[in-house]
Amino acid sequence: MHNYFQAFLSLNRYAWRVFARNMAVFKKTYKANIAFNFFEPLLYLAAMGMGLGAFVGSINGISYVQFIAPGMIASSAMWAASSECTYDSFVRMKMEKIYHAIVVTPINLHEVIAGELFTGTLKSVLYGSVILLVITGLGLVTSFYALLVPFVLLLCGIIFSELGMIWTGLVAKIDSFSYFFTLIITPMYLFSGVFFPIEALPDIVQTVAWFLPLYHVVTVLRSLVLGLISPALFGHILWLLCFAILIFPLPLLLIHKRFIK
Amino acid sequence: MELAIEALSLQKRYAEVQAVAGINLQIARGEYFGMLGPNGAGKTTTVAMIYCFLPIEGGELYVLDMDVRKQARAIKARLGVVPQENNLDEELTVLENLLIYASYFGIDRQTATKRALAQLEFFELTAKQHVDVEALSGGMKRRLTIARAMMNEPDILILDEPTTGLDPEARHYIWQHLKQLKKTGLTLLLTTHYLEEASQLCDRIVVLDEGRILEEGQPAALITQHVGATVIEATLPQREHDSLLQTVQALLNGYMVIGETLYLHPGYNITTVLAKVQEHSKVETLTQRPANLEDVFLKLTGRRFGGA
Ligand SMILES: Nc1ncnc2c1ncn2[C@@H]1O[C@H](COP(=O)(O)OP(=O)(O)OP(=O)(O)O)[C@@H](O)[C@H]1O
Ligand SMILES: [Mg+2]
């Protein structure tokens, strides 16, 4: 329990230095990466929005492509953070031994992980925001509340960075990351209201969806993009905030247990 | 004597293995100190406890008079660490590597740049400063890793097998640089498989095996004490060993047997022993050479250094 609370002390300037290191590397490689990252959501938007949209007509009074567009922001942000804190972090930890290089300086391992989480978060905000710009260009954004999207992506980013890092702390091999995506990320993608309103599904599914962070992210993003503001949004934001804070120590403690013998 | 590092019955075990089984070390400031031992002796485990990566399990460990259990951050600020495995930022340039490393210590950009250029100059990497690390040779990477460890102007430089896997030229090159640093008052702690490396660089060494210190002292003194100045190597069929030994044993300080080879330590009786060995009809090869730390190790453990 003591360790759990102690973990929050890692949100300090040392963690920031790790983040700065990752940004320095990112600056050199982003051109190749960023193109790939927004290609996929756009593919979905085109295929589902136009293809499926032709059959679906409208949902709750908006066109189908307009319905799924905010979901593409969320999914892009989710994938960015999750892959950063699984594959990329694993490579830094196990293959490139970057953690080892850093923890022999005044920075400790918890701070390294906190810095990794910041990195996942930043990429999440960035890749989500790129999609926001694109759908704005396509005329799918109808409200200035959309300017608040990056703040929601901060929460989305930290949560999926944490989840990815927890998995990294639990699994022993890089192959096991595909399970994370098949068992956790993809189901979440499908049942969080990205492609259809979950109100259409049985009560039990709706209850389950309430426990999925992506559901809350998608709901808030859609409301902001379409300007459908209601007090209920604060409930979703609060949910995300609590979840992000409560699980924060877990990746730090798990990686520590795994990394230091 | 001011101590840089002091270990008192230091211990560490991994699930099954007792990697460090109670060792005592006292390393003075300004000393160049070597830890020698075969694979799995516990060298990396020991230095990793000293640079506060592995938690210690038993005993006590002080670095620059600070307790590793309580003051890890302050200790690490004063150390330079070159780990056994290279862990440079491969995607970054040589100079960027140094600057980023300095940022971990909170060194401001201007100071960092000044130091980085000086280190690159010293380690003769200036021409490579804008090259990505990926493109460097093994020897250059190693020099860069040492340069990186010097960025915080450490009091103690810890090198875990700095030259393993390098060709002899690259190795000598690194030794030369490390020798020059001695003038600055730096304390150096080095682990190595190379007995020559220890003889070249270290004021004092310990020989480590299976987590214990077998012997401690100045390289030359250890050689004189355990072996003498010269070793005579003779190969002959094992069944003939006794007959040869009967003729020379009284003249020897000691001897070792590995397979068909006899390692004779003749002390001052070199010529007499050599003559007797030459007389023996079954001797196939015969060499005389200066004794080295390998002979000491052999004598202490009954094994060759590589563990064979
Ligand atoms: N992470 C680990 N988990 C389990 N056992 C380990 C671990 N690291 C080292 N060991 C074991 O502890 C012992 C000491 O290992 P250590 O790496 O300290 O030796 P070393 O002297 O550095 O060897 P080398 O010359 O091969 O680098 C060995 O038996 C090794 O197998
Ligand atoms: Mg080792």
- Same domain membership, residue B161 and residue B79: yes
- Same domain membership, residue B99 and residue B127: yes
Q: Give the tens place of pLDDT for each residue, A28-62.
A: 887 776 766 677 788 888 888 888 888 888 888 88
Percent of chain A residues past pLDDT 70, beyond the cut: 98
Q: Give the tens place of pLDDT for each residue, B214-232.
A: 999 998 898 888 888 899 9
- CB atoms under 10 Å from CB of B175, counted, come to 17
Q: What is the DSSP letter of A47?
A: I
- Same domain membership, residue B265 and residue B139: no
When comparing pLDDT for B181 and B170, which is higher?
B181
- pLDDT band at residue B253 using 50, 70 and 90 as cut-offs: confident
- Same domain membership, residue B151 and residue B8: yes
- Ligand 1 centroid–CA B206 distance in Å is 17
- Same domain membership, residue B82 and residue B171: yes
How confident is the model at residue B298, as a pLDDT? Answer: 81
Nearest chain A residue to B45 by CA distance is: A261
B28 within domain boundaries: yes
Per-residue pLDDT of chain A (261 residues; tens, 9 = 90+): 789 999 999 999 999 999 999 999 999 887 776 766 677 788 888 888 888 888 888 888 889 999 999 999 999 999 999 999 999 999 999 888 999 999 999 999 999 999 999 999 999 999 999 999 999 999 999 999 999 999 999 999 999 999 999 999 998 788 888 889 999 999 999 989 988 888 888 888 889 899 999 999 999 999 999 999 999 999 999 999 999 999 999 999 999 998 887
Query: B34 CB under 6 A from ligand 1?
Result: no
User: Do A105 and B152 count as a contact with CB atoms less than 8 A apart?
Assistant: yes
B297 within domain boundaries: no
Q: Which of A14, A104, A110 to mutate to test the interface with B (most CBs of B within 10 A)?
A: A104
In this complex, the residue of A18, A25, A97 whose CB is nearest that of residue B91 is A25
* 226-245 of A, contacting B, C-beta below 8 A: none
- pLDDT band at residue B308 using 50, 70 and 90 as cut-offs: very low
Half-sphere exposure (Cβ direction) of A37: Cα atoms closer than 13 Å: 27
Query: B35 CB under 6 A from ligand 1?
Result: no
Q: φ and ψ at B158, to 5 degrees?
A: -110, 120
**Do A222 and A145 contact (CB within 8 A), yes or no?**
no
Q: What is the DSSP letter of B251?
A: G
Spatial separation of the C-alpha atoms in residues A140 and A66, rounded to whole Å = 6
In this complex, the residue of A25, A97, A105 whose CB is nearest that of residue B104 is A105
How confident is the model at residue A95, as a pLDDT? Answer: 85
Question: Which is nearest to B271 in space by CA: B259, B293, B288?
Answer: B288
B301 within domain boundaries: no
Mean pLDDT of B116-125: 96
Per-residue tokens: A181? 């995506």
Closest atom of ligand 1 relative to the B193 alpha carbon: 25
How confident is the model at residue B223, as a pLDDT? Answer: 87
Distance of CA A242 to the CA centre of its chain: 15
Find all residues with CB under 8 Å of A238, minimum gap 6, and list them.
Answer: none
Query: B19 CB under 6 A from ligand 1?
Result: yes
Query: A261 CB under 6 A from ligand 1?
Result: yes
- Same domain membership, residue B159 and residue B15: yes
Per-residue tokens: A240? 């995300």
Spatial separation of the C-alpha atoms in residues B22 and B24, rounded to whole Å = 7
The count of structural domains within chain B is 2
Closest atom of ligand 1 relative to the B45 alpha carbon: 18
How confident is the model at residue B193, as a pLDDT? Answer: 83
CA distances from B255 to B19, B221, B261 (A): 30, 18, 10
- pLDDT band at residue B307 using 50, 70 and 90 as cut-offs: very low
Spatial separation of the C-alpha atoms in residues A197 and B42, rounded to whole Å = 60
How confident is the model at residue B294, as a pLDDT? Answer: 82
pLDDT at B306 over 60: no
- Same domain membership, residue B92 and residue B205: yes
User: Do A104 and B83 count as a contact with CB atoms less than 8 A apart?
Assistant: yes
- Ligand 2 centroid–CA B115 distance in Å is 29
CATH of the domain at B262: 3.30.70.1150
- Same domain membership, residue B176 and residue B78: yes
pTM for the model:
0.91
- Ligand 1 centroid–CA A221 distance in Å is 51
How confident is the model at residue B305, as a pLDDT? Answer: 58
Percent of chain B residues past pLDDT 90, beyond the cut: 68
Question: Which is nearest to A247 in space by CA: A162, A165, A161?
Answer: A162
- Same domain membership, residue B271 and residue B151: no
Per-residue tokens: A146? 């959309």
B125 within domain boundaries: yes
- CB atoms under 10 Å from CB of B198, counted, come to 25
B189 within domain boundaries: yes
Find all residues with CB under 8 Å of B206, minimum gap 6, and list them.
Answer: B23, B25, B33, B34, B35, B36, B213, B214, B215, B216
B304 within domain boundaries: no
How confident is the model at residue A199, as a pLDDT? Answer: 84
How confident is the model at residue A57, as a pLDDT? Answer: 80
B306 within domain boundaries: no
- pLDDT band at residue B303 using 50, 70 and 90 as cut-offs: low
Query: B47 CB under 6 A from ligand 1?
Result: no
- Same domain membership, residue B182 and residue B235: no
**Do B92 and B116 contact (CB within 8 A), yes or no?**
no
Query: B17 CB under 6 A from ligand 1?
Result: yes
Q: Where is the domain boundary, B187, B217, B247?
A: B217
CA distance B98 to chain A (A): 11
Residue B248 is part of which domain span? 228-290
Pocket of ligand 1, candidates B11, B43, B47, B161: which has the most ligand atoms within 8 Å of its Cβ, to mutate?
B43
CATH of the domain at B62: 3.40.50.300
Q: Give the tens place of pLDDT for each residue, B138-165.
A: 999 999 999 999 999 999 999 999 998 8
CA distance A12 to chain B (A): 13
Strand extents, DSSP E, B64-174: 66-67, 79-82, 156-160
Q: φ and ψ at B45, to 5 degrees?
A: -60, -45
In this complex, the residue of B87, B96, B105 whose CB is nearest that of residue A101 is B87
CA distance B147 to chain A (A): 14
Q: Which of B12, B87, B151 to mutate to test the interface with A (most CBs of A within 10 A)?
A: B87
CA distance B222 to chain A (A): 33
B295 within domain boundaries: no
How confident is the model at residue B143, as a pLDDT? Answer: 95
- Same domain membership, residue B242 and residue B127: no
How confident is the model at residue A106, as a pLDDT? Answer: 98
Q: Where is the domain boundary, B217, B251, B268?
A: B217
- Same domain membership, residue B255 and residue B177: no
How confident is the model at residue B304, as a pLDDT? Answer: 61
